[in-house]
Amino acid sequence: MFKLSASFVALVALIPFAAGQAQEWGQCGGIGWTGPTTCVAGTTCQVQNAYFSNCFPGAPIPPVSTPAGGAPSPSATGLNALAQSKGKLYLGSATDNPELTDAAYVKILSDNTMFGQITPGNSMKWDATEPSRGQFTWTGADQIANLAQANGQLLRGHNCVWYSQLPSWVSSGNFDSATLTSIIQTHCSTLVGRYKGEVYSWDVVNEPFNDDGTWRSDVFYNTLGTDYVNITLQAARAADPAAKLYINDYNIEGPSAKTTSMMNLVKSLKAANVPLDGIGLQGHFIIGGVPQGIEDTLRAFTALGIEVAITELDIRMDVPATPAALAQQSQDYQTVISACQAVEGCVGVTIWDYTDKYSWVPQTFPGEGAACPWDQNFVKKAAFYGIVSGFNS
Ligand code: XIL
């Protein structure tokens, strides 16, 4: 075990005041840090991980964790390269078409040592790909599939069937069950078929459950009952037999009624020989709110004979961000990554875009934001180093 704790704190305490003193909660150390290394009176520089120490009120408390096998070298900061060196398949990011005109954004996104996988945040959804019946539009989706190919990155497809971003011709069409079945089959097999051989995994069904574990009431469930799930999975398998087929949802990362329902669904689909390869745990969290038992939950899903992935990780906070909140966020990213790292069947983690500049959070959760590991100006936040520490745990 690499020990940073007491000696590191003592060392930074000896460094003179040349760079000034960090304020309460402010950063005071870590690999690559060139700012102040001492704290104002009444606070103590506390090591959070190899890359991030900050000033806690009061006397020293024990460090929460230290990387195994020594601190990672500062140059080994490609998150995907690090994830792969630790046995994962990828560390990836969501992206979206409008931001692909931002050269600084694309440069970081396209570095496959940083991101080994991308997911289109919007452009493979039903409203984007079949806005009217039988009229398929591929411009946005193709752009992202082509980018993944050019960059040598895996592609996650997102998604075939979801209650949201669903055109009204589907949701309000009053179709009978045979017609809706055929509409789903046409949509999913055309979409999955277009990218046959290019997609590592597909979120075939997105968000089927309510938080209380009951089935979500939408046009698919209301017309076809639970059969819409197997109808869609079978259409996807037929269209691209090599793609891993996932069901994806949020609030299933720890023990809950919804998690139990998802596990029961996996069991029943497996028992009926319906094609299913993985469960995606979205991972849209609030700082301090990462569920207890995430590692156990990941493991319990894999015990059902499937793989898992964290598919949409972000950890939001009230804005403007405070140093304390950013430190908590770093801890939380580390917790999530180390849970995936600890479970062999957790194949990878996708961040729901890597920079606060293009996060979906501020529009969806007014008053909240700063959810990503890079800030608005593409500067790595403490959260980035939390991810590094998570893989090294
Ligand atoms: C979000 C996109 O990021 C936004 O741009 C869009 O306005 C709404 O959808 N769960 C999902 C994703 O499965 O598709 C959602 O993406 C975020 C929540």
Domains of the chain by residue range: 26-57, 79-392
Distances 36 to 20, 124, 265 between C-alpha atoms, Å: 5, 46, 52
Return the residue whose CA atom lies nearest to atom 14 of ligand 1. 121
Determine how β-strand 52-57 pairs with β-strand 43-49: antiparallel
Sort residue 301 into left (φ over 0), alpha (ψ -120 to 50) or beta. alpha
Q: Residue 161 phi/psi, 5° resolution?
A: -130, 125
Q: Is the minimum distance from the CB of 312 to ligand 1 under 6 angstroms? A: yes
pLDDT value, residue 54: 77
Distance 360 CA to ligand 1 centre (A): 7
Q: How many Å apart are CA 281 and CA 293, to the nearest integer?
A: 13
Instruction: Report the percent of the chain where pLDDT is more than 70.
Output: 90
pLDDT band at 22 (very low <50, low <70, confident <90, very high): confident
Question: What's the start-to-end Cα distance of the chain, in Å?
Answer: 10
Residue with tokens 């949509």: 187
| Total H helices, total E strands in the chain | 14, 15
pLDDT band at 48 (very low <50, low <70, confident <90, very high): low
Residue type, 350: T
Q: What mean pLDDT comes out for the span 310-328?
A: 98
State the average pLDDT for the chain: 91
User: Which residues does the annotation mark as catalytic?
Assistant: 312
Q: Right CATH number for 79-392 from 3.10.20.340, 3.40.50.150, 3.40.630.30, 3.20.20.80?
A: 3.20.20.80
State how far the Cα of 75 lies from the Cα of 52, in Å rounded to an integer: 16
Q: Are strands 38-39 and 278-281 parallel, antiparallel or unpaired?
A: unpaired
**How many Å apart are CA 346 and CA 305, to the nearest integer?**
12
Is the pLDDT reported for residue 21 higher than 60?
yes
Give the pTM. 0.85
Nearest CA to ligand 1 atom 13: 206
Instruction: Please identify, by atom number, the ligand 1 atom nearest to the C-alpha of residue 203.
Output: 13
